[in-house]
Structure 1
Amino acid sequence: MKEENIHIRWANENDAEDLLKLNNAFNGIGTSVEEVIDSLALSNELIALAVIDDQAVGFACAQYFKSFCYRALQGEITEMYIAEVARRRGLATLLIAFIEEEFKARGVTGVKILTGQSNERAIKTYEKSNYARTEEVLLQKKL
């Protein structure tokens, strides 16, 4: 069996087409390559890319912020997706660790991840990375 070359790195504008395809598979959002490039250039969002043998197979998005309500910077991993063909190889755990290292370097002391209550596979992955379930309730409203 051929050994795979797995690599986690920060996404850049050259990855726009791959990010677009991965996000369409994940969220079904019909954006354009130009919109992805603009978002990469203008946003403070951190986007980590999982690559196997030079093929982008997954991503994770993260943000961090300072609030007067808390002493330290707060972080959140907001999105994570691994293409079906690349699952069960530890890529999500690698993406989480990659983002956590960047957060630590920037002074972030706590990280949140939100996922669906019935997304047991994702919850197990997060728990494996030492995230604990909380009693928080997410409420949403479209404006």
Structure 2
Amino acid sequence: MNPDLMIRLANETDAEELSRLNQEFNGGEKRPPERIIERIRINHSEIIAVAEIRGKIVGFGCAQSFYSFCYEFPYGEITELYVEEAARRKGIGIAIISFLEVNLRERGVKSMKVLTGRRNNAAIKTYERCDYVKDDEQLLKKRFAD
């Protein structure tokens, strides 16, 4: 592992870099940093981790913990994981996943899930290296009209 790599919780001062990385990851319009700051302040079920190398943020990951009356313990979901191109294949994604898992376990999470594209082989291999296994669930989506 890179000794210059640090994984930590995101804070408000990371908003500009999170905006840049999110646009690289998701495309579309750049999220305004003030909206990112707002989400950091109010969304306490989300964990946002950043990966830094020598002070430069090169990746991020997000996870959520969910409670339901149906289950004894909350479950966790990794909702986003992105490492910029130049920093890939250096174990950063695995380090972010591990960091998120530790934080979720501290919240009482006993099981995790992640959704990724069927053809996103690099991501699938990264998750499999972290002991995630494929299952046969099917994702269905619906978008509400504005």
TM-score by length of 2: 0.93
- Residue 54 in 1 paired to residue 55 in 2? yes
Corresponding residue for residue 14 of structure 2: 15
Q: 1:30 deviation in Å? A: 2.5
Q: SS of the counterpart of 2:110?
A: strand
**Contact persistence 1:4–1:53 (CA under 8 A):** no
Q: 1:34 deviation in Å? A: 0.7
Spell out, residue by residue over 1:64-120, the C-alpha distance to the aligned partner (whole angstroms, 9 max, x if none): 011011111110000000000100000010001101111111110001010000011
Corresponding residue for residue 121 of structure 2: 120
Q: SS of the counterpart of 1:92?
A: helix
**Contact persistence 1:61–1:79 (CA under 8 A):** yes
Corresponding residue for residue 32 of structure 2: 32
Corresponding residue for residue 5 of structure 1: 4
Moved more, 63-72 or 15-24: 63-72
Kindly report which structure 2 residues correspond to 1:72-87, keeping only aligned pairs within 5 A, or say none: 72-87=73-88
Runs of 4+ off more than 2 Å: none
Corresponding residue for residue 41 of structure 2: 41
Q: Structure 2: which amino acid aligns with 1:15?
A: D
Where does the alignment leave 5 or more consecutive residues of structure 1 unmatched? none
Where does the alignment leave 5 or more consecutive residues of structure 2 unmatched? none
Q: Structure 2: which amino acid aligns with 1:89?
A: K
**Contact persistence 2:10–2:49 (CA under 8 A):** yes
**Contact persistence 2:48–2:62 (CA under 8 A):** yes
Root-mean-square deviation (Å): 1.0
Measured in 2, the distance between the counterparts of 1:34 and 1:99 equals 24
Of all paired residues, the percent bearing the same amino acid is: 46
TM-score by length of 1: 0.95
- Count of equivalent residues: 141
